[in-house]
């Protein structure tokens, strides 16, 4: 880690701790080494600085809209964070290649399939970009969900700290089983991934994926020591943190 990265990491960690009460206990469930795709929900701006600073020294990066670099200060910060510029609304082959390089180099790539902020914390419809990244890299996916941060703007106006809760689910692999990956198949795969993410959120945040009974797992493989996150959904709450989640 360079001096600049060390300073930025420490600053972001202190700032997020001042603004929020961060429950990051479950981040220890994320493996300490090896390639990984973190599948996350996207509520607001807080997730990027918080995850970057709280997962260190484990390197993590993710996509950021290319317009971010229009602001020199934000562009400098996101370069330090090693974020990957993504041109939204099109197939950005350069961003895809950069993400593959991160994963194949043993890093963590954070991907929010919703593609935009929900603001209220409820899951939006997932987009299939994460599917091709998972199939091409062969890396495991691990769901990470945030809730509570949707109250940040209201709380900051009242000079109150915000509860920022993080839950981490079981890892799994995405497999096509020799089937042609059509647009319809990609969306089915995306929905299966999103249901795994929804299942580690309290029910009021599951949004488009509230009906867990509609979930399938035809394209998911759970390695030894792991299990479906749907099976854990019924124990969400006090018993959740007690259950091991690493494969």
Check pLDDT > 80 for residue 182. yes
Digit-coded pLDDT (tens) for 48-85: 889 889 988 888 999 988 888 989 888 898 888 888 98
Q: For position 57, what pLDDT does the model report?
A: 83
Average pLDDT over residues 186-190: 97
- Using a cut of 0.75, tell me whether the model's pTM lies above it: yes
- Half-sphere CA count of 153, side-chain side, radius 13 A: 7
Digit-coded pLDDT (tens) for 118-143: 989 999 999 999 999 999 999 999 99
Q: Which letter, b or e, does each residue of 148-172 get, where b requires 16 or more Cβ atoms within 10 Å of its Cβ?
A: bbbbbeebeeeeeebebbbbbbbbb
Q: For position 196, what pLDDT does the model report?
A: 97
Check pLDDT > 70 for residue 245. no
Average pLDDT over residues 165-177: 95
Give the DSSP H/E element, type plus range, for residue 37: strand 36-40
Check pLDDT > 80 for residue 217. yes
Average pLDDT over residues 38-57: 90
Check pLDDT > 80 for residue 202. yes
Q: For position 64, what pLDDT does the model report?
A: 86
Check pLDDT > 90 for residue 88. no
Q: For position 244, what pLDDT does the model report?
A: 43
Euclidean distance between CA atoms 21 and 14, whole angstroms: 11
Tell me the pLDDT band of 168, cut-offs 50, 70 and 90.
very high
Write down the number of H helices and E strands in the chain: 8, 9
Tell me the pLDDT band of 235, cut-offs 50, 70 and 90.
low
Return the number of other C-beta atoms located less than 10 Å from residue 95's C-beta: 18
Check pLDDT > 60 for residue 156. yes
Averaged confidence pLDDT in the chain = 89
Check pLDDT > 70 for residue 237. no
CATH homologous superfamily for 3-233? Glycerol-3-phosphate (1)-acyltransferase (3.40.1130.10)
């Amino acid at each position: 880690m360079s001096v600049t990265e060390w300073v930025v990491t420490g600053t972001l960690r202190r700032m997020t701790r001042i603004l929020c009460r961060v429950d990051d206990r479950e981040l220890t469930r994320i493996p300490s080494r090896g390639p990984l795709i973190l599948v996350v929900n996207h509520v607001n701006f807080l997730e990027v600085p918080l995850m970057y600073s709280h997962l260190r020294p484990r390197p993590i990066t993710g996509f950021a809209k290319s317009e971010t670099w229009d602001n020199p200060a934000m562009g400098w910060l996101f370069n330090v964070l090693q974020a990957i510029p993504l041109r939204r609304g099109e197939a950005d082959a350069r961003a895809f290649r950069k993400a593959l390089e991160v994963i194949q180099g043993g890093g963590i790539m954070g991907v929010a399939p919703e593609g935009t902020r929900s603001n209220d914390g409820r899951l939006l419809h997932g987009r299939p970009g994460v599917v091709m990244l998972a199939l091409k890299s062969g890396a495991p996916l691990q769901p990470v969900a945030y809730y509570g941060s949707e109250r940040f703007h209201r709380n900051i106006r009242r000079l109150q700290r915000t509860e920022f809760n993080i839950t981490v689910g079981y890892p799994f692999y995405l497999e096509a089983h020799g089937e042609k990956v059509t647009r319809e198949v990609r969306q089915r795969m995306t929905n299966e991934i999103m249901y795994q993410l929804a299942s580690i959120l309290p029910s009021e945040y599951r949004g488009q994926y509230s009906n867990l009974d509609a979930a399938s797992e035809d394209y998911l493989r759970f390695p030894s020591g792991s299990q479906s996150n749907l099976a854990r959904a019924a124990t969400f709450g006090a018993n959740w943190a007690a259950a091991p989640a690493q494969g």
